Amino acid sequence: MNYKINTRCLYGNNTTSSKEHFGAISYPIYQTATFAHPSVGNSTGYDYTRAQNPTREQLEKILCSLEQGYDALAFSSGMAAITALMELFQPGDHIIAGNDLYGGTIRLFQSINMKNQISFDFIDTSKEDVEPYIRPQTKAIYIETPTNPMMNVTDIAKIATITKQHGILLIVDNTFLSPYFQNPLTLGADIVIHSGTKFIGGHNDTIAGFLVVNNAELSEQLHYITKTVGSGLAPFDCWLIIRGLKTLGIRMERQQENAFAIANWLLTHPRVKNVYYPGLPNHPGYEICKKQATGFGSMLTFQVDSPETALRILRSVKLIPFAESLGGVETLITYPMTQTHSDIPQDQREKTGITDTILRLSVGIEDVDDLIADLKQAFEE
């Protein structure tokens, strides 16, 4: 059965689980490290939770159905997912990556993967042609769209045509739009990454990550890596994410609605110089985002007239916490320069536009009038 997206948020494509587990509607938490074997050479399907656990498997099935993949794997964080993914590569391999990626991803690439002789070119995949960067050693193109925090949009299908021609992988970090609004595998990507901490969990209470793949070979390789390095998500955290996912659709819709209202209000404020939200028709990524996604999400970045204004807003917001992370029901404001992107060298940061006048909002589900009133008083404070 192929259910529609809001139904899949609850059940995946499998409604038989409520007929198992004594009819439990909420999937049970299998809080066990190990499983007894019925006899020598036989297994219940589960041996040891590092390798697999029923609660984790249930979550993986739901996420796989949301991304329309072949298989999904759940990790103890988004970074654990990306770390496992990078074990697919060998010393000498080359990867082309976006230059405006999540700061932690760039840190992993530059501090750990480069030490292991994997090399990178960081380019603006929303504007530059990737093909000239492909060499015989190139194994993958790694992108985010829209990016963090500048909301640059890359055409996934266009890059997928190139990766297919060259027989290399297209990897897409889909955290910002969530599987509710965008499904890169259906556009030709091979691997999708999520920080499950963000929209998927949705409540700012659990750290998790995912890889979703489009074929059996990648699935097998990544299960082997995960079981070997031991970074799978713990059963209780799997249950929290299963619970969070049930409301993914209604959260995404409400958060997006609030984001539109805030973006339009910011545009009218005299101290706002720029609003970067892909849902605004004059945003350079608007048309591509509209073509490849069913929504624009609830992340928006704006530029104010001076660093003093930026600091005043951060000091004066009363309702909106000044905190890292994103995607949850609570609206959060961040200062990318000193928070998420503090490890990125200044020249590189400024090249992507991340200056001391840039603020990022992850818009939540509050009453939008309260959010706008809070921002308004913070500008004026």
Ligand X SMILES: *Cc1c(COP(=O)(O)O)cnc(C)c1O
Closest to ligand X by CB, 17 or 301: 301
Residue 237 binds ligand X (CB under 6 A): no
Taking CB atoms, the residue at the shortest distance from ligand X is 78
DSSP secondary structure letter of residue 232: B
Closest to ligand X by CB, 102 or 260: 102
Rounded CA separation 311/75 (Å): 36
Closest to ligand X by CB, 207 or 245: 207
**Closest separation in Å from C-beta 41 to ligand X:** 38
- Sign of the Cα torsion 331, 340, 142, 128 reads positive
> Among the options 27, 30, 46, 102, which is catalytic?
102
Rounded CA separation 47/35 (Å): 5
Position among 163, 197, 298, 303 found at the interface with ligand X (CB under 6 A): 197
Q: Which stretch binds ligand X (CB under 6 A): 1-9, 25-33, 71-79, 362-370?
A: 71-79
> Among the options 8, 56, 61, 198, which is catalytic?
198
Q: Which stretch binds ligand X (CB under 6 A): 52-60, 99-107, 116-124, 162-170?
A: 99-107
Which amino acid does the sequence have at 184?
P
**210: phi then psi, degrees, rounded to nearest 5:** -140, 150
- Radius of gyration, alpha carbons of the chain: 21
**Closest separation in Å from C-beta 77 to ligand X:** 3
**Total binding residues for ligand X by CB under 6 A?**
15
Q: 50 catalytic, yes or no?
A: yes
Q: Is the peptide bond before 336 cis (omega within 30 degrees of 0)?
A: no
Listed residue (284, 281, 324, 298) closest to 181, CA to CA? 298
- Helices first, then strands: H and E counts in the chain: 13, 11
Closest to ligand X by CB, 207 or 213: 207
Q: Which stretch binds ligand X (CB under 6 A): 100-108, 251-259, 301-309, 345-353?
A: 100-108
Rounded CA separation 200/286 (Å): 23
Give the distance, in angstroms, between the CA of residue 180 and the centroid of all CA atoms in the same chain.
Answer: 12
Give percent helix, percent strand, percent coil of the chain, each to the nearest 5. 40, 15, 45
Position among 144, 155, 190, 374 found at the interface with ligand X (CB under 6 A): 144
Residue 341 binds ligand X (CB under 6 A): no
Residue 307 binds ligand X (CB under 6 A): no
Angle subtended by helix axes 78-86 and 216-229, to nearest 10: 110
Residue 309 binds ligand X (CB under 6 A): no
Where on the chain is the footprint of ligand X (CB under 6 A)? 77-79, 102, 104-105, 144, 148, 173, 175, 195, 197-198, 207, 209
